[in-house]
Amino acid sequence: MWRTNIQILGTEITRGSSHFLEMEVAKLHTRNHISVPVIVERAKKDGPVMLILGGVHGDETNGVAIVRDIIRKKLNKPEKGTVICIPVLNAFGYLNQDRKFPDGRDLNRMFPGSPKGSLAAQFAYSFMQEIAPQIDYALDYHTGGAARENFPNVRFTPGDNIHETLAKVFDAPFILESKNIKKSLRDALDALGVPTLVFEGGKALHLDKKMIKIGVQGAQNVMCHLGMFQAEAKDKTKSIHITKSKWIRAGHAGLFESQVENGSFVRKKEKIGRISDPYGLFEKSIKAPFDCYVFGLNTSPIINKGDALFHVSVELAASSKEQ
Ligand SMILES: [Zn+2]
């Protein structure tokens, strides 16, 4: 049975109601208040409560645009259950176009937070008090870091059938088994028994139509699967299921050029990139250490020795056939 009483930020969410709520974050040193919009839509019929959020990292704009498009397409108005959309959780970072909170913390390493900790810890704490206890499932939309481009993938906690089923239903090109990062939002929600998928697509401070489309379709697929919409989930691509992955790191410093497309399959010893100096005196090829899919790429033209360059699959689930 689904919960019948839903209360968010002190507001009772009755059946068939819509709300544009504000979650107070803090006062700035200018005395301006910062609050985070929380958009809630509850159907007349009971069903799961789904949280859809973006902008945990303030510079990850694809995630923000995905939640915006979910609202635009009215996919946040379910036939059954409730959808809570938070397009920009880290409003501070978003204002500054920066990954972090103004206290320099990564919000995604601060959960479940504390009422007397740093600004980010206090914010994480109030999210865990006000929002987290009211939800049944969560979709957390991210992109890659500043110079890292992620081919669209969904990360989920291994060893749990619900997580795995939802990750498959989402239907991103890749699904990736990854243990929870300690003190991440996913870690804190999983501890409450809320299955949470993390989507990664594209890179920070970019808007990529393809990534946005996959992210929106994924939310629709998951909500259809959970019975929140009557339509059937579209399952077209059949995700490649990666059970183990690693980063291939730079053996040298220099100018870096990738020679593979993100998302492609490469054979062992295939040339996948090169590192050179500016003088035409030094050039080294980077070769694939084994057969693998490349699903994360460093897009920085200048790299240091040891920098992560290619995120690749090490092992695939039996259901994912290699090319
Ligand atoms: Zn992120």
- Give the model confidence (pLDDT) of 145-200 as tens digits: 878 999 999 999 998 899 999 999 999 999 999 988 999 999 999 999 999 999 99
144 alpha carbon – ligand 1 mean position (Å): 7
Ordered by start, the domain boundaries in the chain are: 7-225, 246-316
User: In terms of Cα–Cα distance, which of 83, 87, 85, 79 is closest to 39?
Assistant: 85
Strand partners, 213: none
60 alpha carbon – ligand 1 mean position (Å): 6
172 alpha carbon – ligand 1 mean position (Å): 17
Does residue 212 have a pLDDT over 50?
yes
121 alpha carbon – ligand 1 mean position (Å): 17
Interatomic CA distance for residues 211 and 262, integer angstroms: 13
Per-residue pLDDT at 321: 55
282 alpha carbon – ligand 1 mean position (Å): 35
107-142 tens-digit pLDDT: 999 999 999 999 899 999 999 999 999 999 999 999
1 alpha carbon – ligand 1 mean position (Å): 33
16 alpha carbon – ligand 1 mean position (Å): 33
187 alpha carbon – ligand 1 mean position (Å): 14
Does residue 259 have a pLDDT over 60?
yes
303 alpha carbon – ligand 1 mean position (Å): 21
56 alpha carbon – ligand 1 mean position (Å): 6
278-292 tens-digit pLDDT: 999 999 999 999 999
106 alpha carbon – ligand 1 mean position (Å): 9
178 alpha carbon – ligand 1 mean position (Å): 15
Q: How far is CA 192 from CA 112, 132, 208, in A?
A: 10, 8, 33
> For residue 81, what are the contacts with CB-CB under 8 A and spacing of at least 6?
2, 42, 43, 45, 46, 47, 48, 49, 50, 226, 227, 228
212 alpha carbon – ligand 1 mean position (Å): 15
Q: What is the CATH number of domain 246-316?
A: 2.40.50.100
In this structure, are residues 311 and 295 in contact, taking their beta carbons and an 8 Å threshold?
yes
64 alpha carbon – ligand 1 mean position (Å): 11
208 alpha carbon – ligand 1 mean position (Å): 15
Architecture of domain 7-225: 3-Layer(aba) Sandwich (3.40)
Q: Do strands 292-298 and 308-316 pair parallel, antiparallel, or not at all (unpaired)?
A: antiparallel
Interatomic CA distance for residues 101 and 56, integer angstroms: 10
Question: 102 falls in which pLDDT band (50, 70, 90)?
Answer: confident
Per-residue pLDDT at 235: 65
**What token pair was written down for 179?**
């243990």
Q: Which helix (H) or strand (E) holds 186?
A: helix 185-191
269 alpha carbon – ligand 1 mean position (Å): 32
46-89 tens-digit pLDDT: 999 999 999 999 999 999 999 999 999 999 999 999 999 999 99
Question: 323 falls in which pLDDT band (50, 70, 90)?
Answer: very low
Look over the chain and give the mean of its residue pLDDT values, rounded to a whole number. 94
165 alpha carbon – ligand 1 mean position (Å): 23
User: In terms of Cα–Cα distance, which of 167, 169, 148 is closest to 262?
Assistant: 148
Q: Which helix (H) or strand (E) holds 218?
A: helix 209-225
76 alpha carbon – ligand 1 mean position (Å): 22
